[in-house]
Structure 1
Amino acid sequence: MSTVDESTEFIQVLSDGSVKRFAPEVAIASTESSDGFKSKDIVLDSSKPITARIFLPDVSESIVGQLPVLVYFHGGGFCIGSTTWLGYHHFLGDLSVISKTIVLSVDYRLAPENKLPIAYDDCYTSLEWLGNNAHSESWFRKADLSHVFLSGDSAGGNIVHQVATRAIKGKVSGVIIKGLLLIHPYFGSEKRTELEMAEESAGHVQSNDMFWRLSIPEGENRDYFGCNLEKTELSGDEWHQFPQVVVFVAGLDFLKERGVMYADFLQKKVDRKVNLIEAEGESHVYHVFRPKSEATSLLQKQMSDFIHSF
């Protein structure tokens, strides 16, 4: 048996079709409060299956009124990642406390076994679950479904855009998306950016090309609609319905250019300001690798400020 594709730190695809993923430490959900929040895992759709982890801040019990809901999609090039990873668990749990928000973090099915658009379908299912089932889940007793926000990092940021686009066309009953928070979003195209063409970027380009090759459908290239954001199909009226957006980029991130391009692209389509915030001196998804850092605390505050600006 031979190796077909490999990123030594993250994934190995073998000739028989099997996949080995190199996962970091995971956190077990706990309904006992710790660090100001509690968590539990639920099933959104047992037929696929699609699962999620809810993060509920302790302050929810003392607050009069309802709490906003943040639906989060993890990163990993569509091929790796999980809301159970220790970094995500701490980042999202702490975010729920800081922002006084109920967080629903989705574990969608991964490529290459489940190529795009399956991840988009699974994550859209999380909105349908909210609209149809949140009322019967006790942890959503104080959820304000008229103040729902979509967020995600890297490939999860890409998913945010695709799910928001589909929601504009589909109108999920009972759920109103107020804003999108994209962290270091993962887009691409057949045309390389300046940074992607730089000699020192060869390793990053090779890795990115592999993740896209594993995740997009057979016969497609990096101009696939899920990769090239310019392929987004919305009418003028639909663009006017696009939610408020904040895009976070990291100064040392190889994908910074793509995040800036996304903000510029949206700014030409929507009739309101698209916010772009840079974390200088930080690398791609630093908040996952260093969830207790000062930079991550600042990111959480900026996210909280955006959520509560509505």
Structure 2
Amino acid sequence: MSLVEEAPGYLQVFSDGSVERLAPEIVPASLESTNGYTSKDVIIDSSKPVTGRLFLPRIASSGSINKLPVIVYFHGGGFCIGSTTWAGYHHFLGDLSTASQSIVLSVDYRLAPENRLPIAYEDCYSSLDWLARQVGSEPWLEQADLSRMFLSGDSAGGNIVHHVAIKSIQNNSCHIIKIKGLLPIHPYFGSEQRTEKEKAEGAAEEVASNDMFWRLSIPEGLNRDYYGCNFQKAELSATEWSQFPAVVVFVAGLDFLKERGVMYAEFLRKKGVKMVRLVETEGESHVFHVFYPESEATRLLQQQMIEFMKSS
């Protein structure tokens, strides 16, 4: 048995198909209020399994009668790693719940390469169905306003945001839920056509890493022009594009994926999406908010997210 793919410190894939994931610091959910929020883990679909972590801000849990918006968040990790339990995600989303006075559902979808795309899209879309079913019975959702739902996620999670939004438009099956806006953070896209940044001198290591994650996550036998990787392959009518929610695309100035994020925003504008914003955090790297959830840049990102939610 030999090592065939590796993301040092995070992932090892072996020749027999076995996978070892090396998790960073994790945080358990807690019913005790921490920094203004409580959290608990939920089962979204036990048969797959798909789980999630709910965050409830203190004002909501103390009896406020106001309905609260809902943020559904999909973690990053190249579709192959990541979890709601990772400390960076837990602290970032708990603080976002408090600052935005929103209920947050962070989703643990099944990971590649054991579960290749489009499984992550299906799992994450099922979280919307779960919310619609649970809103009348789950005590933590008593104040949830599903007509003010926002989808967010970073890296691969930002990619998932796009595809869950498309799936919700195409299905048009749940009248309870209204997706008011999308907030992809440093979204992870690609294509067979290399960008200028990817062709530049010194980019080989970053390109190889991105290619590895795509190789592990897209269906076997397909390339990076698979619709899940290349957003330009989306098959939506003009009418469907007109129904696409408002979008704010967050990019980071030092992020190797910044170019793809800018291209994504431009693509949506050309498709006639009603509101598309592009917000850059200068001097920061890919998913800095996960590595530094209490940094000044992360606080600014959270405030920008809140401002977008209020305007949508």
Partner of 1:91: 92
Asked if residue 170 in structure 1 is aligned to residue 171 in structure 2, the reply is yes
Partner of 1:226: 228
* Aligned equivalents of 2:241, 2:53: Cα separation in 1: 31
Tell me the matched-pair count.
310
Partner of 1:187: 189
* Aligned equivalents of 1:92, 1:290: Cα separation in 2: 12
TM-score by length of 1: 0.98
Counterpart of 2:202 in 1: which secondary structure? helix
Asked if residue 123 in structure 1 is aligned to residue 136 in structure 2, the reply is no
- Give a deviation string over 1:76-97, Cα, whole Å, max 9, x none: 0000000100000000000000
Are the structure 2 counterparts of residues 113 and 301 from structure 1 closer, same or farther at C-alpha, using a change threshold of 3 Å? same
Which has the higher mean CA deviation after the structures are superposed, 181-190 or 54-63?
54-63
* Aligned equivalents of 1:219, 1:82: Cα separation in 2: 27
Are the structure 2 counterparts of residues 13 and 271 from structure 1 closer, same or farther at C-alpha, using a change threshold of 3 Å? closer
Asked if residue 34 in structure 1 is aligned to residue 37 in structure 2, the reply is no
Which has the higher mean CA deviation after the structures are superposed, 10-19 or 243-252?
10-19
Partner of 1:255: 257
* Aligned equivalents of 1:91, 1:278: Cα separation in 2: 19
Identity of aligned residues (%): 67
Q: Is contact 2:197-2:203 (8 Å) kept?
A: yes
Partner of 1:19: 19
RMSD after superposition? 0.9
Q: Give the drift of 1:2.
A: 0.4
* Aligned equivalents of 1:128, 1:102: Cα separation in 2: 16
* Aligned equivalents of 1:216, 1:75: Cα separation in 2: 15
Counterpart of 1:222 in 2: which secondary structure? coil
Show the 5 A alignment for 1:53-132: 53-60=53-60, 61-132=62-133
Letter in 2 for 1:32: E
Which has the higher mean CA deviation after the structures are superposed, 198-207 or 258-267?
198-207
Are the structure 2 counterparts of residues 136 and 281 from structure 1 closer, same or farther at C-alpha, using a change threshold of 3 Å? same
Return 5+ residue gaps in structure 2 as ranges. none
- Give a deviation string over 1:143-184, Cα, whole Å, max 9, x none: 001000000000000000000000001124211100000100
Are the structure 2 counterparts of residues 271 and 8 from structure 1 closer, same or farther at C-alpha, using a change threshold of 3 Å? closer
Structure 1 stretches of at least 4 aligned residues deviating more than 4 Å after TM superposition:
none
Q: Is contact 1:152-1:182 (8 Å) kept?
A: yes
Letter in 2 for 1:269: K
Partner of 2:43: 43
* Aligned equivalents of 1:213, 1:19: Cα separation in 2: 14
Show the 5 A alignment for 1:244-283: 244-283=246-285
Q: Give the drift of 1:272.
A: 2.3
Return 5+ residue gaps in structure 1 as ranges. none
- Give a deviation string over 1:238-266, Cα, whole Å, max 9, x none: 00000000000000000000000000000
* Aligned equivalents of 1:187, 1:238: Cα separation in 2: 21
* Aligned equivalents of 1:58, 1:98: Cα separation in 2: 10
Which has the higher mean CA deviation after the structures are superposed, 128-137 or 76-85?
128-137
TM-score by length of 2: 0.98
Q: Is contact 2:245-2:273 (8 Å) kept?
A: no
* Aligned equivalents of 2:7, 2:102: Cα separation in 1: 36
- Give a deviation string over 1:195-250, Cα, whole Å, max 9, x none: 11112111000000000000000110000000000001110000000000000000
Q: Give the drift of 1:271.
A: 4.6
Q: Is contact 1:128-1:172 (8 Å) kept?
A: no
Counterpart of 2:222 in 1: which secondary structure? coil
* Aligned equivalents of 1:143, 1:287: Cα separation in 2: 25
- Give a deviation string over 1:79-122, Cα, whole Å, max 9, x none: 00001000000000000000000000000000000000000000
Letter in 2 for 1:295: A
- Give a deviation string over 1:58-77, Cα, whole Å, max 9, x none: 01135332000000000000
* Aligned equivalents of 1:213, 1:271: Cα separation in 2: 30
Letter in 2 for 1:74: H
